[in-house]
Amino acid sequence: MIAITVSPLVCISRRASASYVSRYRIVPQRFKELTTIFLLRHGETVWNEAGRFQGQKDSPLTERGQQQADEAGRRLARELERHPGQIDVHVSPLGRTKKTAARIARYVPLRSRDEPRLMEVTIGSWDGMSHYEIHMEYPGMLEGADAFNWFFRSPDGETFDAACARIKEWLSQLRSTTIAISHGLTGRLIRGMYLGLSREEMLELPVPQTGFYRLQNGQAQYIE
């Protein structure tokens, strides 16, 4: 189990700007004390395996992805034994998350609801393409972008600010322990906002498909 604890003083010194802090930092301490979030990513898909960024398009879970979802369900069931009381389940309405949620429900038989604010960040016309295809079809658009910021270079995709705004809205409305089944990039933003990280730090967070994160008391613990 890996625990990530972020000192408020360190966060302030590393955040990008005052305007960023006022808009997206943002998870009040009282919220952290009262609310626990179990954050899961969907299992591996055909396009994950092929190196294509799915965005808000879809591809089926691979056999490995189905096994990952089953294992996540078993782990989550064990973890929830220590969390009595009301538990809400919010699921991105995209196909890969719905299929993952259906497999998890075999072990955690709770009613879920679709939550569009948990959908993956879309990169517009680049959805479904590989990094190489984007480089070839849109020459120069990725120039100077690092391994993660290129997601927000698309001319018709969702902006970083827009993605953070919908996630902030979702977080602000949570009132009980919540299981969230979401995506790689969106999951980075959720964890980063919860921990008060800068944009650069958020986009460098790992996004494994074999476990899940428990966000509680200002920490993000990886459960595997």
pTM, to two decimals: 0.86
Going by C-beta distance under 8 Å and a sequence separation of 6 or more, which residues neighbour residue 193?
24, 25, 26, 27, 164, 167, 168, 171, 202
On whether 183 is known to bind a ligand per the annotation, the reply is no
On whether 149 is known to bind a ligand per the annotation, the reply is no
> How high is the pLDDT of residue 4?
35
Please report, for the domain that includes residue 44, its CATH number: 3.40.50.1240
> How high is the pLDDT of residue 94?
99
> How many independent structural domains does the chain possess?
1
pLDDT tops 80 at residue 19: no
The tens digit of pLDDT for each residue in 137-190 reads 999 888 877 766 788 889 999 999 999 999 999 999 998 999 999 999 999 999
On whether 45 is known to bind a ligand per the annotation, the reply is yes
Domain that holds residue 190: 2-223
**If pLDDT is split at 50, 70 and 90, which confidence band does 33 have?**
low
Q: Please confirm, yes or no, whether 120 is among the known catalytic residues.
A: yes
Tell me the two tokens of residue 98.
């719905």
Catalytic residue from among 115, 120, 158, 201: 120
On whether 150 is known to bind a ligand per the annotation, the reply is no
The tens digit of pLDDT for each residue in 64-88 reads 999 999 999 999 999 999 888 899 9
On whether 42 is known to bind a ligand per the annotation, the reply is yes
Going by C-beta distance under 8 Å and a sequence separation of 6 or more, which residues neighbour residue 80?
38, 87, 108
The residue among 22 and 67 whose pLDDT is bigger is 67
Mean of pLDDT over the chain: 86
